[in-house]
């Protein structure tokens, strides 16, 4: 049997034979992110498709565990699955066993399959979850919202450790506490921890350049380690207490602070006692915002699913250090014919593909591969993981509470989806569109007198705003007159649709777009809304004509009404006179909401760019001046302005600054150069 060998030792099967001899090579452990060279040759050259093709593959497959992929005529991966025995699992597709309408369609569209063996089923499970998240096959259960969770970081590479919100890779030295369900939950907790432990939250560069305490010290939100208002030993004790509190030893910390408060009061040092009192209030504020805090659950994730009406809602609660660190609702994309347990089973492996797993996972219902999943998660986490469905006691009460939240979130989502579908249908009717749009893009620009100009694009679809598809465009053209909104819109449109043509090609509008729960979200917009009147629309239509895509997308202009009043907007559509909608028309409210979201996004992007420009350090513009030299210069002179006034000899007095570097810095700030 021919096949390509994986970097981790597995074997890729392409469906061909050689001397009727099978040589099996065991796979090494599979790691997330491994690049796999799947071969795409073999039986697809025979012209067979569907069940006939799969049947031929079955004849050549081993009884080994592994992962398989099913591809359509466009080379798109439609499904990724894993099996204890590839031969037995894949044969089910060829024989038509237990096929739903959706799986029947998948089998019918299959023109090729690819396989990789693994040593164990656990490795197959881990590889399957990783591939599903990377490839997002349309027939798999898909975890839609895949943002990383925020953590609290107490740094460990500074004289005075700082307290930060952290998201992403844990590259920096320090202690990480989490996950938290949202950035707002982390922000609230950090604000309360500042009151309780007086830890600094400033950046290292600010900390190292301070010559006097900042405002946070004055309002008793920081102990002032930058200027030694507190000793290093005293600050270290505050850091230790903060770590203890976040590690679950909150009662010990509160008792210690209470004792210190009482001792200060007995010594008639009421000012110091008030500081301890405020710290206790800060700790109480943290716990009061965490809702339920079960005594018997130290570290656990709790999952509950509500599956009804073709929609699944999975609610997740995070408990760490005996505290509730928030919850989040997920709505995975799944076949409506799947049971809640089947959806939950597929969801869990993807959820923990790149996230740390706690020692305990509680579920609202039994899943088929519970033991296999526990083994796989334990192998990845490096510690034992227990997965259970509690039947009584405090844990059962917790799961019931999470399930109630899942039901409520499910109901809200169904109502929103139904409302969105009606609004999209109303939009199609109002503007006489050939079909109900599935992707709407809304554009707006933001600037102040032409400076820091940004174009914003937001996307809406059947399920509301699709924030993962939002895009911002920093206006780069030097030919645009500052404040020229028409020129900015031309640049945004040109960049957006030139790239779309290059990456996706021109869409075939003679074919009705796919619809339904399993239909992929389109890359091309059906409708674009432009925040502007006839002038803006003239610029946009010229771009669409130049790119030859006037028939590929419908452009609608939304001009502000008389006196810029909401409700009196005028609409501009090619081939029709401009018109207004009745003040209480639901479609008008829908368009206003989309326009306001585009306006909010564009303004937010502009403000972020403007803020970045305002805080930009002149030293950042000097080539050859990295973070270390920049820090040394700021520590020596205090400010960038003082650096700009320094002579070459003064610059050379700074540690790490040679004469060549000193002249480089001097020449940057002085056109005449150094003498």
Residue range 487-505, pLDDT digits in tens: 888 888 889 999 999 888 8
DSSP 20-62: T-----PPPPP-TT--------SGGGGT--HHHHHHHHHTT--
Torsion angle defined by CA atoms of residues 191, 196, 197 and 199, in that order, rounded to the nearest 10 degrees = 20
Bridge partners, residue 461, by sequence? 464
pLDDT at 525: 93
Among candidate residues 440, 467, 446, the one with its CA nearest the CA of residue 555 = 440
**In sequence order, what E strands does 331-375 have?**
360-363
> Could you tell me which residues come within 8 angstroms of residue 289 by beta carbon, excluding any fewer than 6 positions away?
188, 189, 192
This prediction's pTM: 0.66
Mean pLDDT of successive 10-residue stretches along the chain, which has 675 residues:
39 38 36 42 61 83 88 88 88 74 83 87 88 86 74 88 85 84 78 82 86 87 89 89 76 72 76 73 58 65 87 87 79 83 89 84 90 89 89 88 89 82 90 90 78 86 88 80 76 90 84 66 90 83 88 88 66 86 86 89 81 66 77 80 84 87 83 50
> Element (H or E) spanning 166, and its range?
strand 163-166
Count Cβ atoms below 10 Å from residue 529 Cβ, excluding itself.
24
- Which fold does the domain 618-669 belong to in CATH? DNA polymerase; domain 1 (1.10.150)
Instruction: Give dist(CA 217, CA 203) in Å, integer.
Output: 15
State how far the alpha carbon of 427 is from the alpha carbons of 43, 226, 415, 422, 433, in Å.
47, 58, 18, 9, 8
The domains spanning 300-412 and 431-510+522-612 adopt the same CATH topology:
yes
In contact, 409 and 313? CB cutoff 8 Å: yes
Residue 16: both structure tokens together: 């061909």
Q: Looking at 358-448, which runs of residues are DSSP E strands?
A: 360-363, 386-388, 440-448
Note the helical H segments in 24-167. Answer: 50-58, 86-95, 101-109, 121-135
The dihedrals phi and psi of 552, each to the nearest 5 degrees, come to -95, -20
Q: Does domain 431-510+522-612 have CATH number 3.30.420.340?
A: yes
Considering the domain delimited by 300-412, tell me its CATH architecture.
Answer: 2-Layer Sandwich (3.30)
Backbone torsions φ then ψ of 597, nearest 5 degrees:
-65, -40
The SS3 of residue 457 is strand
b/e code 641-666 from CB counts within 10 Å (16+ = b): eebeebebebbbebeebeeebbebbb
Confidence (pLDDT) at 564: 54
Backbone conformation region of residue 209, classed left if phi is above 0, alpha if psi is from -120 to 50, else beta? alpha
Q: Are 307 and 291 in contact (CB under 8 A)?
A: no
Question: Can you give the residue ranges of every domain in the chain?
Answer: 12-135, 151-288, 300-412, 431-510+522-612, 618-669
pLDDT at 450: 57
The torsion defined by the Cα of 570, 572, 577 and 580, in degrees rounded to 10, comes to -20
d(CA 618, CA 666): 12
What tens digit of pLDDT does each residue of 435-453 get? 899 999 999 888 766 577 8
Is residue 247 a contact partner of residue 321, using CB atoms and an 8 Å limit? yes
SS3 content of the chain, % helix, strand, coil (to 5): 45, 15, 40
Residue closest to 422 by CA, chosen among 436, 410, 433 = 436
Considering the four listed CATH numbers 3.30.450.30, 3.40.50.150, 3.40.1440.10, 3.40.710.10, the one that applies to the domain covering 12-135 is: 3.40.1440.10
C-alpha–C-alpha distance, residues 290 and 319, integer Å:
10
């Amino acid at each position: 049997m021919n096949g390509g060998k994986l970097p981790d030792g597995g074997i890729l099967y392409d469906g061909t034979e050689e001397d009727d001899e099978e040589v099996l090579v065991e796979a090494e452990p599979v790691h997330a992110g491994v690049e796999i060279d799947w071969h795409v040759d073999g039986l697809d050259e025979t012209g067979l498709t569907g069940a006939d093709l799969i049947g031929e593959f079955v004849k050549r497959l081993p009884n080994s565990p592994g992962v398989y992929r099913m591809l359509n005529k466009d080379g798109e991966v439609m499904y990724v699955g894993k099996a204890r025995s590839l031969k037995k699992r894949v044969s089910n597709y060829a024989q038509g066993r237990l096929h739903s309408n959706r799986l029947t369609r998948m089998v019918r569209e299959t023109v090729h399959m690819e396989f990789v063996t693994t040593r164990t089923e656990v490795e197959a499970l881990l590889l399957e979850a990783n591939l599903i998240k990377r490839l997002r096959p349309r027939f798999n259960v898909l975890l839609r919202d895949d943002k990383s969770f925020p953590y609290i970081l107490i740094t460990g590479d500074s004289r005075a450790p700082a307290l930060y919100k952290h998201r992403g890779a844990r590259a920096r030295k320090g202690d990480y506490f989490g996950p938290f369900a949202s950035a707002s939950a982390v922000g609230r907790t950090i604000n309360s921890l500042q009151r309780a432990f007086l830890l600094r939250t400033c950046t290292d560069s600010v900390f190292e350049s301070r010559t006097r305490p900042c405002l946070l010290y004055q309002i008793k939100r920081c102990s002032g380690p930058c200027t030694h208002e507190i000793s290093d030993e005293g600050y270290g004790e505050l850091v230790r207490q903060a770590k203890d509190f976040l590690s679950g030893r909150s009662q010990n910390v509160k008792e210690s602070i209470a004792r210190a408060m009482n001792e200060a009061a007995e010594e008639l040092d009421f000012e110091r006692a008030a500081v301890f009192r405020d710290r206790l209030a800060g700790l109480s504020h943290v716990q009061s915002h965490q809702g339920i805090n079960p005594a018997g659950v130290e570290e656990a994730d709790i999952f509950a699913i509500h599956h009804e009406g073709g929609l699944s809602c999975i609610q997740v609660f995070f408990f760490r250090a005996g505290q509730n660190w928030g919850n989040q609702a997920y709505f995975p994309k799944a076949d409506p014919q799947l049971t809640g347990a089947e959806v939950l089973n597929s969801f869990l492996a993807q959820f923990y593909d790149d996230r740390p797993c706690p020692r305990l996972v509680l579920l609202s219902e039994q899943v088929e591969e519970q033991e296999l999943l526990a083994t796989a998660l334990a192998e990845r986490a490096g510690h034992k993981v227990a997965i259970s469905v509690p039947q009584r006691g405090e844990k059962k009460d917790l799961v019931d509470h999470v399930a109630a939240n899942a039901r409520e979130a499910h109901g809200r989502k169904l109502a929103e989806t139904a409302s969105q579908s009606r609004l999209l249908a109303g939009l199609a009717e109002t503007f006489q569109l050939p079909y109900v749009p599935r992707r709407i893009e809304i554009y707006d620009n933001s600037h102040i007198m032409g400076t820091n100009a940004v174009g914003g694009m937001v996307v809406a679809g059947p399920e509301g705003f699709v924030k993962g598809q939002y895009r911002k465009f920093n206006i780069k053209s030097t030919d645009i007159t500052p404040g020229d909104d028409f020129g900015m819109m031309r640049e945004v449109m040109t960049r957006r649709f030139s790239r779309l043509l290059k990456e996706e090609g021109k869409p075939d509008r003679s074919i009705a777009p796919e619809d339904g729960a399993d239909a992929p979200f389109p890359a091309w917009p059906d409708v674009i809304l432009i925040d502007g009147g006839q002038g803006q629309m003239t610029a946009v239509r010229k771009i669409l004509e130049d790119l030859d895509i006037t028939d590929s997308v419908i452009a609608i202009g939304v001009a502000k009404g008389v006196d810029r009043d909401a409700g009196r907007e005028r609409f501009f559509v090619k081939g029709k006179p401009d018109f207004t909608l009745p003040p209480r028309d639901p479609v008008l409210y829908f368009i206003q909401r989309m326009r306001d979201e585009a306006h909010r996004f564009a303004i937010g992007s502009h403000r972020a760019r403007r803020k970045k420009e305002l805080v930009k350090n002149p030293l950042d513009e000097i080539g050859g001046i990295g973070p270390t030299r920049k820090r040394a210069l700021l520590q020596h002179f205090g400010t960038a302005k003082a650096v700009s006034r320094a002579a070459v000899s003064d610059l050379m007095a700074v540690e790490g600054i040679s004469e060549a570097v000193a002249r480089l810095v001097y020449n940057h700030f002085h056109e005449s150069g150094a003498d």
